[in-house]
Amino acid sequence: MGKIIELKKVNKWFDKFQVLKDIDLDVAPQEKIVICGPSGSGKSTLIRCINRLEEHQEGNIIVDGTELAENTKNIEKIRAEVGMVFQQFNLFPHLSILDNCTLAPIWVKKLPKKEAEELAMKNLTRVQIDDQALKFPGQLSGGQQQRAAIARALCMEPKIMLFDEPTSALDPEMIKEVLDVMVDLAKGGMTMIVVTHEMGFAKEVADCMIFMDEGKIVEKAKTKEFFENPKSDRTKLFLSQIL
């Protein structure tokens, strides 16, 4: 199987503090990976390095055949192919939900307005908030906002989707509606890397689990193996607390 994302010996420091230590990771097309671990373990930083919201200092990150480095043009091309969903939604509050979704397709992918709107409505229907299209983000509930953010990312028709704790800022009763959308997306064959503590979701969709601690990948295993027979003691301890 080919690799759509390849990380080789990636190291990253915030000043003197090392947040990522020798990270090696290969992701195949259509693979779903869930990353878990205690806070401060570097999992968010890791996926933010994949679309270069954070810069790494050592090692190579290759996304869809393009190496991420200083060259700006490449980075914008990569970012257009990699969708990202944030913990805090980060919708654009000055634009309606529909405009949130059409803005980047129109200005970055140069889609005609009409096509962009059709695409947006298709994706909003997919996340089941097509009836909210003309409202502003401030008028929507947290769950609806996060689904809108997913639709916005999908409108760029990305090859890879990154999720940075997408349900952590939500009320418990809204978590399910967002996870349902993500499960649907996974079944559609999207390549996904998800940072989350929702282990039910992980068991359902993940091909592969990664456990991180102190900037290192402590354990990487097939999902079934990971939950039934974790190898390291640190993973066991973490799972015993979270499950």
Partner 1 sequence: MNLIAKPSKENIKTYVPIGFSLVSLSILDVFANAFFNLNLMAFLPSQLSYLLPLILGFIGFYLIRIEFSGVRSLDILNKNINSNNFNAVLTLFTIFIIIKSIPPMLDWFILEANFVGNSKDDCTGDGACWVFIKVWFNRFMYGLYPNAEQWRINTAFLILFTVVGVSFFVAERLKKYFILFLVFVFPFLGIKLISGGSFGLEYVESAAWGGLSLTFIISAFAILFCFPIGVILALGRRSSLPAIKYISIGFIELWRGVPLITVLFMSAVMFPMFLPDGTFIDKLIRVLIAITLFEAAYMAEVVRGGLQALPKGQYEAAKSLGMGYWRMNALIILPQALKLVIPGIANTLLALVKDTPLIFVVGLMELAGMIGLAKTNPKWLGMAMEGYVFAGLVFWIICYAMSRYSQNLEKKLSTER
Of the two residues 28 and 103, which places its CB atom closer to partner 1 in the complex? Answer: 103
Beta bridge partners, 83, equal 161
d(CA 118, CA 62): 32
Beta bridge partners, 210, equal 35, 220
- Using the rule CB under 8 A, give the single segment among 6-14, 25-33, 105-113, 166-174 that binds partner 1: 105-113
Task: Please report whether residue 140 would count as binding partner 1 according to CB under 8 A.
Answer: no
Task: Please report whether residue 84 would count as binding partner 1 according to CB under 8 A.
Answer: yes
Beta bridge partners, 66, equal 63
- Using the rule CB under 8 A, give the single segment among 58-66, 107-115, 168-176, 193-201 that binds partner 1: 107-115
Q: How many helices (H) and strands (E) does the chain have?
A: 9, 10
- Using the rule CB under 8 A, give the single segment among 131-139, 171-179, 188-196, 209-217 that binds partner 1: 131-139
Task: Please report whether residue 132 would count as binding partner 1 according to CB under 8 A.
Answer: no
Q: How far is the CB of 16 from partner 1 (least distance, A)?
A: 21
Of the two residues 44 and 196, which places its CB atom closer to partner 1 in the complex? Answer: 44
- Using the rule CB under 8 A, give the single segment among 6-14, 102-110, 199-207, 232-240 that binds partner 1: 102-110
Going through 49-187 in order, the beta strands assigned E by DSSP cover: 58-63, 66-67, 82-85, 160-164
Q: Which of 10, 23, 86, 215 binds partner 1 (CB under 8 A)?
A: 86
In the shown chain, the binding pattern of residues 150 to 179 toward partner 1, with x for contact by CB under 8 A and - for none, equals --xx--x-----------------------
- Smallest CA-to-CA distance from 59 within 5, 21, 29 is with 21
In the shown chain, the binding pattern of residues 27 to 56 toward partner 1, with x for contact by CB under 8 A and - for none, equals ------------------------x-x---
* CB-based contact 37:212 (threshold 8 Å): yes
Identify the three-state secondary structure at position 154. helix
- Write the CB contacts of 202 (distance below 8 Å, at least 6 apart in sequence): 34, 36, 194, 196, 209, 223
* CB-based contact 14:41 (threshold 8 Å): no
Applying CB under 8 A, which residues contact partner 1?
A: 51, 53, 72, 76-77, 79-84, 86, 88, 90-94, 103-104, 107-109, 136, 138-139, 149, 152-153, 156
